[in-house]
Amino acid sequence: MERKVINPWKWQDEFAFVQANEVRGEQRTLICAGQAAVDADGRPQHAGDMRAQINLALDNLETVLRAAGMNLSNVVRLNYYTTDVDSFFQNYDVVAGRLLGAGCQSAGSLIGVARLAFPELLVEFEATAVA
């Protein structure tokens, strides 16, 4: 697989994302369902705590990726859904640290929503990975 990052600007670098990924010759594409702060039984965790929910949602995403023989560095698109954009940005250092530390260079969108599947959930991550 060959991957080329397309960044006509530099401002996005501090936010741990890229403008586009061009992918050629991939053999597998993994389209992940949204991952949120739920336990192994699907019960929401950490009501009202954006930072803890971000961490658990990313843990859950990494669990799905590992089950497919991939990791965060395979992610080419990562969309963020949140019920509180301001709180998400206040805790974005967690996201950026995890993604940069894993070598993740994904394109994506941040989308503010009225609510997620369970009212307690504040954030959900939706990823596409390639290998």
For residue range 10-61, list pLDDT tens digits in order: 999 888 889 998 999 989 999 999 999 999 999 999 999 999 999 999 999 9
**Separation of alpha carbons 100 and 97, rounded Å:** 5
Residue 39's φ and ψ, nearest 5 degrees, are -85, -175
Domains and CATH numbers, the chain: 2-130 (3.30.1330.40)
pLDDT at 126 over 90: yes
> Can you give the pLDDT at residue 42?
96
pLDDT band (50, 70, 90) for residue 80: very high
pLDDT of residue 13: 87
Look up tokens 């009202």; give the residue. Answer: 48
What confidence score (pLDDT) does residue 16 get?
Answer: 86
Strand-pairing partners, residue 22, are: 4
Give the residue among 2, 16, 11, 3 at the shortest CA–CA distance from 107.
16
pLDDT of residue 105: 92
Question: Which residue type, as a one-letter code, is found at position 33?
Answer: A
- What is the model's pLDDT at position 14? 83
pLDDT over 90 for what percent of the chain? 92
Closest-CA residue to 44 (of 125, 119, 127)? 119
Average pLDDT value over all residues in the chain: 96
Residue 53 dihedral angles phi and psi, to the nearest 5°:
-65, -40
For 30-49, b where at least 16 C-beta lie within 10 A, e where not — what string?
bebebbbbbeeeeebebeeb
Q: What is the mean pLDDT of residues 87-106?
A: 96
At 15 the pLDDT is 85
Q: In the numeric block, which tokens belong to residue 38?
A: 């739920």
Predicted pLDDT of residue 131: 95
